[in-house]
Structure 1
């Protein structure tokens, strides 16, 4: 067994190609060496097998041409909903703000008195015997009341509007949706139809605000 181990060791130290190892025996001893034995030794030449060539790893496969590659599955894109376009308007008669969807309010007629042209209160205008009680100018002749003239004469006015920014429009829509939902909760079941339809419309418009 010791001689076999020595032979294996010599085989491990051999070169890349096969070599010859000599088994020398003399005086009951066995020696393995890479050179021929002495004349007084019994010699046995052992040819070592050539080492097996290292296993070659397969060459990487080149990628297929672009036209042969499987098409990537399309990614479902989320439909983009632009923010709604709203206008902030100021009422010409009392200066109160409101929201409009077209930004082009139609002109309308308003009493001259409500526009601040006359400082006398309307209660004084209608509370005296000489006050105006009709809008027709011929019915107020001779009364000489400036407030009566203001309340019985109408002028054309028009509200002023400007386009709201996307953030302002979304805020106005959220306020309107909350107010409409409160109305739904407080309304009778028979009255909820139009309010629920409006709620669905507002929810759709608010999709552009997410």
Structure 2
């Protein structure tokens, strides 16, 4: 059947027909036995045979492939909305006292200046025992009463303005400081009476929330 259909198409093309191929092709056999194929009925003097052909349907357009699903790695590395911690680490400072050089922790990095006795600052090379001891000087201790006096005997009673120097702690130092404060608070909580424990319990909860951000 396939070879016959190919033969029919070949004969029509050779005949130079410009008509569209229909569903019916006519096989015409002349008196001399010559056979022709055409899409119009045969002449009366020819023997005619009708051949019904099935039109070829156009090939369906291939559907577009679905978009590939995102890889598991892409899903895992997708950025997530940043969420602020419930209790972020506080900003702590390590401060050094101007009077004796000792350090302390503070939440204020810019402490207020204060007045300190001139003799405790080390500016005068006189032993403090002799400055503050018997015969070391007298006079009033109030700064406003000693303003402008420069006698060595009043060195211990003269005051000057000083200010502690502070620096901000890094995250690791902050966590260490919070842990020390937590341990100290726990000790006070255990030593306190039942009626005195509420403030320590509140501070305990605050420190626990902050320490969760230390990753320890």
Q: TM-score range by the shorter chain?
A: 0.5 to 0.7
User: Helix, strand or coil for the counterpart of 1:162?
Assistant: strand
Q: Is the 8 A contact 2:130 2:136 kept in 1?
A: no
TM-score computed with the length of structure 1 as normaliser: 0.53
Q: Distance in 2 between matches of 1:208 and 1:138?
A: 50
Aligned residue-pair number: 139
Q: Is the 8 A contact 1:132 1:145 kept in 2?
A: no
Q: Is the 8 A contact 2:113 2:161 kept in 1?
A: yes
Q: Distance in 2 between matches of 1:189 and 1:150?
A: 50
Note the aligned Cα RMSD (angstroms).
Answer: 3.6
Aligned residue in 2 for 1:160: 165
Give 1:202's match in structure 2, choosing from 202, 207, 215. Answer: 207
User: Helix, strand or coil for the counterpart of 2:91?
Assistant: coil
TM-score computed with the length of structure 2 as normaliser: 0.52
Deviations, residues 29-65 of structure 1 (Å, cap 9, x unaligned): xxxxxxxxxxxxxxxxxxxxxxxxxxxxxxxxx9799
Give 2:191's match in structure 1, choosing from 186, 193, 196. Answer: 186
Q: Which runs of structure 2 are paired with 1:31-180 in the superposition (5 Å)?
A: 79-81=83-85, 82-129=88-135, 131-132=137-138, 134-136=140-142, 146=152, 148-180=153-185
Q: CA deviation at 1:87?
A: 1.4
Deviations, residues 90-127 of structure 1 (Å, cap 9, x unaligned): 11111111112231111111111111123444443343
Distance 1:79 1:130, change over 3 A: closer
Q: Distance in 1 between matches of 2:89 and 2:141?
A: 46
Q: Distance in 2 between matches of 1:121 and 1:192?
A: 47
Q: Is the 8 A contact 1:93 1:114 kept in 2?
A: yes
Aligned residue in 2 for 1:70: none
Distance 1:205 1:124, change over 3 A: same
Distance 1:122 1:193, change over 3 A: farther
Unaligned runs of 5+ residues in structure 2 are 1-64, 70-79
Q: Distance in 2 between matches of 1:209 and 1:113?
A: 43
Q: Is the 8 A contact 2:114 2:163 kept in 1?
A: yes
Distance 1:171 1:187, change over 3 A: same
Unaligned runs of 5+ residues in structure 1 are 1-61, 67-75
Q: CA deviation at 1:179?
A: 1.2
